[in-house]
Amino acid sequence: MKPAFSVPVKPVIQAPPLVEEALGDDERVELKARIKRLMKEQDAVLVAHYYTSGDLQDLAEETGGCVSDSLEMARFGHAHPAKTLIVAGVKFMGETSKILNPEKRVLMPDLAADCSLDLACPADEFAAFCDAYPDRVSVVYANTSAAVKARADWVVTSGIAAKIVKHLHRQGHKLLWAPDRHLGEYVRRVSGADMILWQGSCVVHEAFKAEALKKLHAEHPDAAVLVHPESPESVIALADVVGSTTQLIEAVRTLPNREFIVATDNGIFHKMHEVAPGKILLEAPTAGVGATCQSCAHCPWMAMNGLRKLAAVLEHGGNEILIEESIRARAAVSIQRMLDFAVAEKAGRIQLGD
């Protein structure tokens, strides 16, 4: 039977130019001191993603905040008593923090810090997708707007996506998935679920190249290959470990290998070097045959965050995340399903088997 809705292949979203904050030593020291004072005055805590600059990651840890993936950033903000959460990351992360912490003021260094996955999945198009398949359960990746989360049945992160989809598949559900086609394909392969996939992609992970990776691995045969599942299938096929940012950092810390080839945003190297100081980290190649790299292993939206902008936001206000309450409340339901699932699975109340 002809499908009621044909999922369009999304054009690759044009990323902005990559502009990283360059600071001299004196300015860095002065900015950090000023930000620390302002954070104290405003009862603020900083949560930073692994892909942001080393300066922001260090500042978050020096001031009692956290450096983590998007879910843990939101969870940390929820548990922390501070009245203001500063989210160094991209917009959907600020929104997720606000969804889970409506009573708190959530600020970001730059509200223009977006994500190609979020941009590729407008809420009205996603609603039409769901309407066309009313018998399917909709599962969306965390990298989506609050309005898309509000329309979805489940929100998942890369670390838990396969488990939740496997669970829904075993319950007999057929699924809709959005927005990342590579992560969707990966989850479909490992779960065996019947899934119709949205066709978005991440400008950073889309650029990793399998042939060039094989060549680099041949030059470093003892290196373990770590791949984030937003990467193309041909790159995932070469991985020793496929996992979320947190799972890849854990792999560098615990595996016995001395060398690692890492296919995810190179901002993660800051934390990897910290947890495994003696190990050698190589960037997976983004060049080679068919190269279309717009951002070459570093997200241009993540790079919009920096100490100067953070100081300006604390000094002059603005850049607050605000979400209409009806959207926020519905989005909170689909996020809470994932959080409840994670707790139940950890407690052994949900058995997934192999």
CA 343 from centroid of its chain's CA atoms? 20
C-alpha–C-alpha distance, residues 100 and 48, integer Å: 16
Binding of ligand SF4 at residue 301 (CB under 6 A)? yes
Binding of ligand SF4 at residue 110 (CB under 6 A)? no
Site string for ligand SF4, 86-105 (x = CB under 6 A): ----x---------------
Do residues 163 and 337 touch, judged by C-beta distance below 8 A? Answer: no
Options 35, 148, 155, 203; binder of ligand SF4; rule CB under 6 A: 203
Do residues 95 and 145 touch, judged by C-beta distance below 8 A? Answer: yes
Angle between helices 325-346 and 161-170 in degrees, nearest 10: 80
- Helix/strand number for the chain, H first, E second: 15, 12
Residues 42-71 that bind ligand SF4 (CB under 6 A): 51
Angle, alpha carbons 2-7-11 (nearest 5°): 145
Q: Which helix (H) or strand (E) holds 263?
A: strand 259-263
Residues 226-245 that bind ligand SF4 (CB under 6 A): 230
CB of 117 to ligand SF4, least distance (A): 5
Options 187, 202, 226, 323; binder of ligand SF4; rule CB under 6 A: 202
Q: How many residues bind ligand SF4 (CB under 6 A)?
A: 14
Residues 128-167 that bind ligand SF4 (CB under 6 A): 143
Binding of ligand SF4 at residue 115 (CB under 6 A)? yes
Stretch that binds ligand SF4, among 36-44, 111-119, 216-224, 343-351 (CB under 6 A): 111-119
CB of 335 to ligand SF4, least distance (A): 18
Binding of ligand SF4 at residue 303 (CB under 6 A)? no
* Cβ-count burial 56-87 (b if 16+ within 10 Å, e if not): bbbbbeebebbbbbbbbbbbbbeebebebbbb
Angle, alpha carbons 164-170-176 (nearest 5°): 55
Of 349, 225, 201, 243, the C-alpha closest to 284 is: 225
The residue among 95 and 265 lying less far from ligand SF4, judged by its C-beta, is 265
Stretch that binds ligand SF4, among 170-178, 201-209, 282-290, 314-322 (CB under 6 A): 201-209
Binding of ligand SF4 at residue 265 (CB under 6 A)? yes
The residue among 201 and 257 lying less far from ligand SF4, judged by its C-beta, is 201
Q: Strand pairing partners for 139?
A: 154, 177
Q: Which positions touch ligand SF4 (CB under 6 A)?
A: 51, 90, 115-117, 143, 202-204, 230, 265, 299, 301-302
